[in-house]
Amino acid sequence: MSQYTTDYAAIDEYDSGSITIISQDNKKNYVFSNMFEVAATAKPYERVAIAKNFEYVIESVRAEGTSPWYSAAHDEFAVAMDYPVTVELVKLDDPDAVVDPESEGAVRLAGDPAGKKMGTIKLGRGHMALLPVGAAYRFTAEKPATLMVQTIDGPETVHKWAEICQQ
């Protein structure tokens, strides 16, 4: 029986990888990107789409220092992929005044949100946080880290398909 070893990647230690076709298919029919490589080359808190399904996106985010405040008219999720990231949450006093309820995707807030502090979440590798509708959130990372954010394509989502997709 074969034995397999799981290697964990990080923003500062990853292999780019490649595609191995196992049938008579053409490699050009497939594209992929490495979320750690995308985060390693991104600006702090740049939210780069690495996967898309209709309006939904998975973003690779370089967490470094403290992010701006964000909110969305729908729930989002964030997963720490390598190093610790802290999430601060504020229950907005008037969510509809901050984010259009019909909007999609995360919206960067101009300043500090008005509302009651909900608390903080300390994420370690593989831990997930719900970023609930009606709340504002920001991230803090003491050293560069990779976040995976599930959201809807919106004004903060950056598309770099030509730069990040490998064939």
> Radius of gyration of the chain from Cα atoms?
17
Closest among 33, 29, 59, 47 to 163, alpha carbons compared = 33
Closest among 47, 52, 54 to 70, alpha carbons compared = 47
Closest among 28, 69, 68, 34 to 50, alpha carbons compared = 34
Return the exposure string of 17-54: e unless at least 16 CB atoms fall within 10 Å of the residue's CB, then b: eeeeeeeeeeeeeeeebbbbbbbbebeebbbbbbeeee
Cβ atoms within 10 Å of 101's Cβ, excluding its own = 10
Q: CA–CA separation, 33 vs 16, rounded Å?
A: 8
Window from 31-35, 77-81, 115-119, 136-140 with minimum mean pLDDT: 31-35
Q: What percent of the chain has pLDDT over 70?
A: 92
Query: 138 or 8, which is more confident?
Result: 138
Domain definitions of the chain by residue range? 27-164
For the segment 24-81, what is each residue's pLDDT rounded down to a tens digit?
776 666 556 689 999 999 999 999 999 889 999 999 999 999 999 999 999 999 999 9
pLDDT at 4: 78
User: At residue 160, does pLDDT exceed 80?
Assistant: yes
pLDDT at 167: 53
Tokens representing residue 143 in the block? 């050293």
- Summarize the confidence of residues 121-140 as an average pLDDT: 98
Supply the pTM of this predicted model: 0.89
pLDDT at 57: 95
What's the chain's average pLDDT? 91
Indicate the class that CATH gives domain 27-164: mainly beta
